A and B are shown apart, each in its own frame.
Chain A
Amino acid sequence: MNVVRFMLHNHTQVLELTLEHLWLVGLSTAFAMLIGIPLGIVIAHRPGLNRPVLTSANIIQTIPSLALFGFLLPVPWLGARSDRLAILALTLYALLPIIRNTFTGIRGVDPAVMEAGRGMGLTESQLLFQVELPLAVSVILSGVRVALVISVGLATIAAAIGAGGLGEFIFRGLAMVDNRVILAGAIPAAILALIADTGVGWLERLLRAR
Chain B
Amino acid sequence: MQEMATHAIEFRDVSYGIDGTQVLSNLSLQVARGETLVLLGRSGSGKTTTLKLVNRLVSPTSGEVRVNGESNEKADVIRLRRHIGYVIQEVGLFPHFTVERNIRLVPQIEGWPEERIQSRVQELMQLVGLGTELAKRYPHQLSGGQRQRVGVARALAADPEILLMDEPFGALDPLTRDELQREFLSLQQRLHKTVVFVTHDLREALRLGSRIALMEAGKLVTVLAPSEFLKSEDPWAAAYVRAFGNGTESLQKRGTT
Contacts and interface: CB of A to CB of B under 8 A. Distances in A.
Interface of A: 110, 112-123, 126, 131, 134-135, 209-210
Interface in B129-178: 138-140, 151, 154-155, 164
B109 A115 contact: no
18 contacts: A112-B90, A112-B92, A115-B57, A115-B88, A116-B86, A116-B92, A116-B151, A117-B92, A118-B81, A120-B86, A121-B80, A121-B81, A121-B84, A121-B106, A122-B109, A135-B96, A209-B96, A210-B96
Interface of B: 55, 57, 78-84, 86, 88, 90-96, 105-106, 109, 138-140, 151, 154-155, 164
A133 to B, nearest CB: 10
Nearest to A119: B86
B42 to A, nearest CB: 21
Nearest to A207: B96
Given A112-B88, A210-B140, A121 B79 contact: yes
Contacts of A123: 78
Contacts of B109: 122, 126
A113 B88 CA distance: 10
Contacts of A122: 105, 109
Nearest to A122: B109
B105 to A, nearest CB: 7
Contacts of A126: 109
A16 to B, nearest CB: 43
Nearest to A134: B96
- Candidate in A110, A114, A118, A120 with the most chain B CB atoms within 10 angstroms: A120
Given A112-B92, A121-B78, A135-B96, 14 more contacts: A110-B95, A114-B92, A115-B88, A119-B86, A120-B106, A120-B155, A121-B81, A121-B84, A121-B106, A122-B105, A122-B109, A210-B95, A210-B96, A210-B140
